[in-house]
Amino acid sequence: MRSLSSTACLASLLALVALGCAASPDPPVCAGAGTCTPGYCMAGRCRPTTAPLAPPDTQRLMLQPEEIAVVSARGLVRPEPPLDLSPRPSTPAASGSSHQRGSTGARPAGSGATEGASTGKDATDLPSTRIAGADGDPTATSATATSATATSTTATGATATGATATGALGATATRVDPNRNAPTGATRLPEAIALGAASTGRTVLLFRFAATWPDNADITSAFLLLDPVEGAPPAAQDIPLEVARILDPWSADTVSWGRQPRLSIPGLAAVARRLPLSPVRIDVTDLVRAWAARARDDHGIALLASGDDPVGVACSLGITDGLGPRLEVYLR
């Protein structure tokens, strides 16, 4: 009788253990940045922090771009820098002096571009405008004065408040230092970009990443991640996103809408949902796997979005908000 009771207790205990194991939740999926402790993502699942680190061939890597360029058919809206409203002494203009385009000397009274700097007018009296020549190239800019001196225009392209524009009207090229996550050089990266917005038209983002894994690594998947801008209004519809391989060398200092590098045939890679606002994940697995071949015509990843939506999906470029664009690579 006692033996039967012991057997029944043991059976009940085993049943409880089996039921507890069946009800235990699966480990979370490594589907977003910060889901797992670095090094604990194995085969797409997070391992417990008490377990040994995942082997190098099953870890997740997060890469910041070495260089970014943004070009659009109708130009990008750039935030203006703070104005220096401190009083300035008036500088009388030399009578009869002539002004050549691109010079920084004083201009006669009644002249246009640098009137605020040469006559001592307050910077708020001078609106910032962009003028295009007959061939579509920017040839003159009336810029607001900054804390330094007003920037004069040149024949090759207008320069104002740290931004440059070359090529076709509305074309803009930008560059960022990923180590400092801030603008560098003479160009300026916009804080955010509205993918698919009709106001900017078709937009192309160019990315260059440095592969930190060996050529024989088994890449299971790779995603380009973009963070949404918090509080931004949702798009009217979902925005399809295409990716392509960049075939020509390029630099953010010289690229423009009219001087883009050649691209491979774009393919649909993701759809940016209007709601809920969540990181946009673009599948670039095939493009990243091709990096192992070290082809001479492989110069990065291009992300393309058409400009058909009244609002678009606002994504942060990491200047003041969010982590900025990054590449998530899974190795096994």
Q: How far apart are the first and last CA of the chain?
A: 56
Q: In this model, does residue 265 exceed pLDDT 90? A: yes
Q: Do 257 and 167 form a contact (C-beta atoms < 8 A)?
A: yes
Structural contact between residues 124 and 85, judged by C-beta atoms closer than 8 angstroms: yes
More confident site: 28 or 295: 295
How open is the CA angle 131-255-319, to the nearest 5 degrees? 90
Mean pLDDT of 306-326: 86
On the question of pLDDT at 242 being above 90, the answer is: yes
| Single-letter residue type at 117 | A
Domains of the chain with bracketed CATH: 26-55 (no CATH), 59-78+170-332 (2.60.120), 116-160 (no CATH)
Distance CA 222, CA 38 (A): 17
∠ CA 250-322-65, nearest 5°, is 25
pLDDT digits (tens, 9 = 90+) for 196-211: 898 888 999 999 999 8
> Measured between alpha carbons, how far is 32 from 196 in angstroms, rounded to an integer?
23
Residue 318 — pLDDT band, cuts 50, 70, 90? Answer: confident
pLDDT band at 302 (very low <50, low <70, confident <90, very high): very high
Which residue did the predictor score with more confidence, 240 or 157? Answer: 240
Counting Cα atoms < 13 Å in the Cβ hemisphere of 204 gives 23
pLDDT tens-digit readout, 50-85:
554 555 556 789 999 999 999 888 765 443 344 454
For the ranges 34-48, 60-74, 97-111, 298-312, the lowest mean pLDDT is seen at 97-111
252 or 119, greater pLDDT = 252
Q: Across-strand partners of 204?
A: 71, 304
pLDDT of residue 327 exceeding 90, the answer is yes
Segment among 7-16, 106-115, 200-209 with least mean pLDDT: 106-115
**Residue pair 145/120 in contact by the 8 Å Cβ criterion:** no
Which residues, listed in sequence order, are joined to residue 84 by a DSSP beta bridge? none
- Tell me the pLDDT tens digit for each residue of 159-181: 333 333 333 333 344 444 444 33
Q: Enumerate residues 6+ apart whose C-beta is below 8 A from 54.
A: 39, 40, 41, 42, 47
Task: Reply yes or no on whether the pLDDT at 188 is more than 60.
Answer: yes
